[in-house]
Amino acid sequence: MEIGPGAFHFARYLSSADQIALVNQCRALIDGPVPAYVPVVRGGGKMHVRMLCLGRHWNGRTYAYETHRTDFDNLPAPPLPAAFVRLAHDIARAAGMLLAPDLCILNYYDADGRMGLHQDKDESERSIAAGLPVVSVSLGDTARFLFGGLRRKEPVESRLLASGDAFVFGGPARLRYHGVSRILPGTAPPELGLVGRLNLTFRQYDL
Ligand code: SIN
Ligand code: MN
């Protein structure tokens, strides 16, 4: 359902079977030949997630996208699987938006995982100006997701994102501040066999 102009929360978008399949694909990627890692950001601090970028690599030191992980091990970002592209496209369409994603940031949060309030603004100017959405899919433990306004000082609403939920922010909501203040440990559906939370955010770098 639409929670504000250009912002949609689809609770339990994914069936249990779809969640299991997606968790397994994510696990294989995270522990694969190009593994997830803990990025160090501009100020020198470590992020509170393990990250793996698909399609394009987001460099936490420069906040720019690149083909190879020059801030970590110089390995190339693994390709974005076709099934992931379709999933994000379909979720965007459910929100009445078009998205041909070419990158996904896959984050793993353990019980202490979190992400400070930020804007997603490292995609191309044209993509952002067009309001092409960010599509987010959550798996495993529930997160307390913060969703603010276009300025950092604006009020922030908190919203629980549970396993299988999809969240879309595009159009006038594309640059809204957001973050994750905490993970609710032990809330993952048991059939996933997942301790912690996985979140995938899909974007389209350019038009
Ligand atoms: C992000 O903003 O990149 C992640 C959001 C989330 O984990 O729900
Ligand atoms: Mn973000």
Ligand 1 binding site (Cβ under 6 Å of any ligand atom): 105, 107, 115, 136, 143, 145, 161, 178, 180, 199, 201
138 CA distance to ligand 1 middle (Å): 9
Encode pLDDT of 158-171 as tens digits. 999 999 999 999 99
Confidence at residue 171, expressed as pLDDT on a 0 to 100 scale: 98
What is the model's pLDDT at position 108? 98
Residue 16, pLDDT score: 98
pLDDT, mean of residues 25-37 = 98
Token pair in block for residue 74: 């110089």
- What's the rounded Cα separation, in Å, for the pair 116 and 175? 15
- Give the model confidence (pLDDT) of 57-105 as tens digits: 999 999 999 999 999 999 999 999 999 999 999 999 999 999 999 999 9
Mean pLDDT of the chain: 98
Determine what percent of the chain is predicted with pLDDT higher than 90.
Answer: 100
Answer yes or no: are the C-beta atoms of 177 and 100 closer than 8 Å: no
For atom 3 of ligand 1, the residue with the nearest CA is 201
Backbone angles phi, psi at 172, to 5 degrees: -70, -15
CA distance 6 to 173: 5
How far apart CA 166 and CA 119 sit, in angstroms, is 18
Q: What are phi and psi of 134, to 5 degrees?
A: -95, 130
How much is the average pLDDT of 106-129? 98
Per-residue pLDDT, 157: 98
pLDDT per residue as tens digits for the range 127-141: 999 999 999 999 999
**Which of 199, 200, 202, 203 to mutate for ligand 1's pocket (most ligand atoms within 8 Å of CB)?**
199
User: Which residues does residue 180 pair with via DSSP β-bridges, in sequence order?
Assistant: 115, 145
Q: pLDDT at position 10, please?
A: 98
The predicted model gives 98-115 an average pLDDT of 98
Q: Which residues contact 24 (CB under 8 A, 6 or more apart)?
A: none
88: Cβ contacts below 8 Å, ≥ 6 apart: 99, 101, 104, 135, 137, 202
pTM of the model: 0.98
Nearest protein CA to atom 5 of ligand 1, as residue: 179
User: In percent, how much of the chain has pLDDT > 70?
Assistant: 100
The CA-based diameter of the chain, rounded to the nearest angstrom, is 42
Residue 122's φ and ψ, nearest 5 degrees, are -100, 0
Residue 118 Cα to ligand 2 middle (Å): 6
- Beta pairing, strands 157-161 & 2-4: unpaired
Query: How confident is residue 186, by pLDDT bands cut at 50, 70 and 90?
Result: very high
Ligand nearest to the CA of 158: 1
